């Protein structure tokens, strides 16, 4: 056994001796030297938090939660209204100008060959795959936010 | 002793192993029940959670930052963060470790903002170890050797770098296993052992020197 291993054992023996209120045995002067240290390290630390700390914090958390709930409820409603407005506007514009926009596009698609179309689809698939690969680590890392 | 190191377990050994395997999640089940109660907004659940873990939170943060008012603020920040992210708690570890982990990261960020190093090298630029900064003003004759050494040790622990103070407290006072401390601090178990070993050795040497002076 190396001197370091012996010293580690002595430290651990002293720690166990103090943890078990002297029921464990420690042998040798080496571990005896660590008993005072283990005892000092086990001295309770005074917790200087107000007596109503838990109650106050619970009230604060509940307030925050209801504020967030109200905010998110309002946000959801506003988003829904906006979505409906945009949807209706897009439908109206599409009905008025749609024919003139889509005719040239359909004409060009007819001119494109079958091979060009597959190349275009392949490119879109690559872009989609790359976007998913970029977002995946972010999604997986989200669970560690509390610790960041 | 009662293990089956050769790979051939008898029936009673297998039964004992099964018992150990099934008993472990039970303690986490209590944690999960408390978490579920908080998440479902059960009255008094979060207050109970805070009351249960405020002492541990104080230990971690106060050992790191040493400033009482900052510790109070950071404890509050920790529990608000716990409340905000509690839905992310997975039953893989004890709630105690998860909360201590949040407290540790809150305190660590505070120290980083204040540019206070988390772990100092064993000796500074002038060749002084952190324990050399312990006051030499003890009234040796006024106190008994035992209480004097205890006072000296408390001051010596305060002079250790934040990380070492915290590891010593979690191991000795909160009786956390090394693996759990490694999870909380995000360090390897070997690193935790090394910090424990070196800090206790430093304290012993400092105490020996001190008592040598006293004698």
Predicted confidence (pLDDT) per residue in B86-107, tens digit: 999 988 889 999 999 999 999 9
- Hey, what are B90's tokens? 């997975």
The predicted pLDDT at position A67 comes to 72
Best mutation target, A6, A24, A49, A52, to test chain B (most B CBs within 10 A):
A49
- Residue B173 has what DSSP assignment? I
Q: Which residue in A has a C-alpha nearest to residue B73's C-alpha?
A: A49
Average pLDDT, integer, range A117-146: 78
| A38 contacts on B by Cβ (under 8 Å) | 172
Distance from CA of A136 to the nearest CA of B (A): 18
Closest residue, chain B, to A49 (C-alpha): B72
Token duo for residue B161:
């770098």
Q: Residue B70: how many CB atoms within 10 A of its CB?
A: 17
Q: How many residues does chain B have?
A: 215
Q: Are B108 and B128 in contact (CB under 8 A)?
A: no
Share of chain B above pLDDT 90, in %: 54
When comparing pLDDT for B51 and B146, which is higher? B51
pLDDT on residue B192: 96
Question: pLDDT by residue (tens digit) across B16-71?
Answer: 444 333 334 445 788 899 999 999 988 999 999 999 999 999 999 999 999 999 99
Q: Which CATH class is domain B18-116?
A: mainly alpha
Q: Are residues B82 and B100 in contact, defined by beta-carbon separation less than 8 angstroms?
A: no
Identify the closest residue of chain A to B211 by CA–CA distance: A33
Choose between A83 and B133: higher pLDDT.
A83
pLDDT at residue B13, rounded to an integer:
47
- How many CB atoms within 10 Å of residue B97? 19
pLDDT at A138 over 70: no
Q: What angle do CA B177, B181, B187 make, to 5 degrees?
A: 135
User: Would the pLDDT of B129 be above 70?
Assistant: no
Contact A108, B64 (CB under 8 A): no
Tokens 């910090």: give the residue: B195
Rounded to 10 degrees, what is the CA torsion of B91, B96, B98, B99? 140
Asked whether this complex has an ipTM greater than 0.85, the answer is no
Higher pLDDT, A90 or B146: A90
Q: Where are the alpha helices (DSSP H) in B86-188?
A: 95-113, 145-158, 162-168, 178-185
pLDDT of residue B54: 96
At the top level of CATH, the class of B128-215 is mainly alpha
Smallest Cα distance from A76 to chain B, Å: 20
Cβ–Cβ of A148/B102 closer than 8 Å? no
Annotated domain spans of chain B: 18-116, 128-215
Across the interface, whether the CB atoms of A40 and B68 are under 8 A apart is answered no
B155 — alpha (psi -120 to 50), left (phi > 0) or beta? alpha
Q: Indicate if the pLDDT at residue B7 is higher than 50.
A: no
Q: Tell me the torsion sign for CA atoms B19, B23, A146, A129.
A: positive
Best B204, B205, B211 residue to mutate vs chain A (most A CBs within 10 Å): B204
């Amino acid at each position: 056994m190396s001197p370091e291993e012996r010293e580690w054992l002595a430290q651990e023996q002293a720690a166990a001796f103090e943890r078990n209120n002297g029921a464990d045995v420690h042998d040798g002067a080496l571990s005896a030297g660590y008993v005072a240290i283990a005892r000092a390290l086990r001295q309770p630390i005074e917790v200087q938090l107000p007596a109503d700390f838990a109650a106050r914090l619970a009230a604060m958390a509940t307030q925050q939660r209801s504020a967030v709930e109200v905010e998110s409820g309002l946000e959801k409603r506003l988003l829904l209204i906006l979505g409906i407005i945009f949807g209706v506007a897009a439908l109206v514009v599409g009905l008025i100008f749609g024919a003139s926009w889509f005719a040239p596009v359909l004409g060009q698609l007819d001119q494109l060959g079958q091979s060009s179309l597959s190349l275009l689809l392949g490119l879109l698939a690559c872009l989609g795959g790359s976007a998913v690969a970029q977002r995946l680590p972010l999604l997986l890392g989200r669970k560690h936010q509390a610790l960041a | 002793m009662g293990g089956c190191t050769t790979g051939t377990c008898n029936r009673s050994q297998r039964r004992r192993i099964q018992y150990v395997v099934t008993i472990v999640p039970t303690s986490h089940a209590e944690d999960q029940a408390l978490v579920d109660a908080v998440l479902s907004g059960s009255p008094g659940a979060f207050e109970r959670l805070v009351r249960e873990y405020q002492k541990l939170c104080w230990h971690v943060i106060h050992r790191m930052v040493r400033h009482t008012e900052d510790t109070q603020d950071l404890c509050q920040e920790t529990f608000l963060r716990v409340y905000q992210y509690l839905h992310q708690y997975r039953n893989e570890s004890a709630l105690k470790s998860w909360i201590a982990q949040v407290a540790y990261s809150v305190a660590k960020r505070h120290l980083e903002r204040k540019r206070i190093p988390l772990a100092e090298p064993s000796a500074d630029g002038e060749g002084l170890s952190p324990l050399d900064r312990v006051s030499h003003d003890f009234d040796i004759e006024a106190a008994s050797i035992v209480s004097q050494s205890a006072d000296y040790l408390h001051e010596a622990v305060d002079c250790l770098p934040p990380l070492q103070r915290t590891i010593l407290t979690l191991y000795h006072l909160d009786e956390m296993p090394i693996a759990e401390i490694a999870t909380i601090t995000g360090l390897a178990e070997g690193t935790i052992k090394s910090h424990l070993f070196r800090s206790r050795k430093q304290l012993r040497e400092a105490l020996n020197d001190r008592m040598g002076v006293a004698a």
